[in-house]
Amino acid sequence: MARLQAALLAGAATEGAIATFTGYVRTTNDKRPVHSLELEHYPGMTQRSLKNIAREAATRWPLLAASIVHRVGVLSPGEQIVWIGVAAAHRGSAFAACEYIMDFLKTAAPLWKKEKGPAGERWVETRKEDGERTQRWQEIGGR
Amino acid sequence: MARLQAALLAGAATEGAIATFTGYVRTTNDKRPVHSLELEHYPGMTQRSLKNIAREAATRWPLLAASIVHRVGVLSPGEQIVWIGVAAAHRGSAFAACEYIMDFLKTAAPLWKKEKGPAGERWVETRKEDGERTQRWQEIGGR
Amino acid sequence: MLRILFFARIREELDCATLDWPWPGQAIDLDTLQEDLCLAYGAKWREVLSQDNVIRAVNQTVTNDNCALHDGDEVAFFPPVTGG
Amino acid sequence: MLRILFFARIREELDCATLDWPWPGQAIDLDTLQEDLCLAYGAKWREVLSQDNVIRAVNQTVTNDNCALHDGDEVAFFPPVTGG
């Protein structure tokens, strides 16, 4: 992940603005400690889905580069799950596209979280708020 | 700058979400090549102003940490000018606070850019858009 | 032949990750395939696959409606996504 | 004494970065100080400091209005900021 981040940062360094987002495995969820998190995905479709989301963002805002990295497999609390980096000539586009990508990733990319804690395993439930955040972009439209 | 970034990232790594923004010295501005950029500031007031902006962001959104780094002196095209990092339990707060801080930094922190190019030196003019972006937050309000 | 994939909670509840389903030799749509699966594997499958929030994808694209299938298609059933 | 600072374009136009201004020994406000500076240094200063977009700060806080000054205050004049 560090290598990809460095590549985006280096490649876009002369272009004005970079907004990034990093998501981490929480140490607790709903007040229960998290021992580990297992990320399952749909091989092939996940890559296609992330590429489509980045491409859609690039049609809405004038971007120079967008990079999405999502980890799968077993992760420990505090580890990075997802990293998004967006480079643009102006900061408004960089911020908006970064948030847009994250919102759609949460609701469209075929990835599933299973938490292991003291009470055993459980599949993480979809948060209603995530759907609402995605909905927002339909109302706001591009640029 | 790298050391401060690493500290924020390490310290907040167990807490959910980090949004960052990095601004770079452009290679061109208004189609004229930029040879170097000189950042002048008001010592003392700059630090106070950045601290106030971060503090104000923390009253509007539930943040875990916010860090602002702004360089001064002579910079070359492609170098980082400003870095903002915001850690929060939820991504909405991290994104909003990061953008808020950047918008207010642009209009409230006593820093001035002077560009040197083939036609000589010139003080960079304020962009009308920056004032409008700051205005926005008065309308939107907190959280 | 149709390649059928199940993910996450649905994969666990059906105890099945992938299934190669012989092409029936005649036009078939997604709803019919799902019904055929339930007839073949029984009440548990019907219960799991008929849950409100089951998402269906054909050739790695989510489809909200019924649609025609073709020999060689990849069909997937999965719960709402929770990545990020 | 008042410490007076000028920054960026204004500093260059006045060819002056800092100025130690003797405390006049009586109540003085920001507008009066500015007028006194112009009287002391002439037309160029009046032209530069009366520009529409000049920002004034007292003790490192921007003030949009006139305000009373106190012995020891730090006063600054600068153009619109362009950091970030």
Q: Is residue D83 part of a domain?
A: no
Over 70: is that where the pLDDT of C71 sits? yes
| 3+ Cβ–Cβ pairs closer than 8 Å linking D and C | no
Average pLDDT over residues D55-78: 97
Residues A18-27: tens digit of each pLDDT: 999 999 998 8
In a domain, C53, yes or no: yes
- Strand pairing class (D18-21; A28-29): unpaired
For A21, which of B9, B78, B91 is closest by C-beta distance?
Answer: B91
Q: What is the pLDDT of residues A76-124, one digit of tens each?
A: 998 999 999 999 988 999 999 999 999 999 999 999 999 999 989 999 9
Nearest chain A residue to B78 by CA: give it. A14
Nearest to A24 among B13, B78, B102 (CB): B13
Q: Which domains are assigned to chain A?
A: 2-141 (3.90.1170.40)
So what's the pLDDT on residue B131? 87
Q: Which residue of A has its CA nearest to C56?
A: A110
Percent of chain A with pLDDT over 70: 87
User: Cα separations (Å) of B125 from B37, B106, D53, D81?
Assistant: 13, 12, 12, 9
User: Do the bridges between strand D61-62 and strand B28-29 make them parallel or antiparallel, or are there none, so unpaired?
Assistant: unpaired
The answer to the question of residue C83 being in a domain is no
What is the pLDDT confidence band of residue A9, given thresholds at 50, 70 and 90? low
With 90 as the cut, is the pLDDT of residue C61 above it? yes
Within a domain: D84: no
Label residue A143 by pLDDT band (50, 70, 90): very low
Is C48 part of any domain?
A: yes
| Cβ-contact A123, C13 below 8 angstroms | no
- Name the average pLDDT for chain D: 97
Q: Tell me the torsion sign for CA atoms D25, D29, D31, D34.
A: positive
Position A10 scores a pLDDT of 60
Q: Rounded to whole angstroms, how far apart are CA atoms B112 and D77?
A: 13
Mutation site for D-interface testing, chosen from B51, B98, B123 by largest number of D Cβ within 10 Å: B123
Q: Maximum distance among all alpha carbons in chain A?
A: 50
Contact C67, C30 (CB under 8 A): yes
Average pLDDT (D16-31) is: 95
Q: What percent of chain A has pLDDT over 90?
A: 66
Contact D6, D17 (CB under 8 A): yes
Residue C35 lies in a domain: yes
In sequence order, what DSSP letters do the residues of chain D get, joined into one string? Answer: -EEEEE-HHHHHHHT-SEEEE---SS-EEHHHHHHHHHHHH-HHHHHHHTSTT-EEEETTEE-SS--EE-TT-EEEEEPPP---
| Both tokens assigned to A122 | 């459980």
* Neighbour count for residue B60 (Cβ, 10 Å): 16
- Residues C61-67: what's their mean pLDDT? 97
Q: Which parts of chain B sit beneath pLDDT 70?
A: 1-15, 140-143
Q: Are A23 and B23 in contact (CB under 8 A)?
A: no
Q: Are B36 and B104 in contact (CB under 8 A)?
A: no
Cα dist from A129 to A56, A115, D4, whole Å: 22, 20, 52
Residue at D38 is within a domain: yes
Domain CATH number, residue D35: 3.10.20.30
Interface confidence (ipTM) of the complex: 0.88
Going by the DSSP 8-state scheme, the letter that residue A77 receives in this structure is T
Domain count within chain C: 1
Q: What pLDDT shows up at residue A142?
A: 47
Q: What is the span of the domain harbouring residue D56?
A: 2-78
- Cβ distance of A21 and B17 shorter than 8 Å: yes
Query: Does C84 fall in a domain?
Result: no
Residue B23 has its nearest CB partner, among A21, A22, A91, at: A91
CA–CA gap between residue A43 and residue A41 (Å, rounded): 6
pLDDT band, very low/low/confident/very high, at A29 (cuts 50, 70, 90) = confident
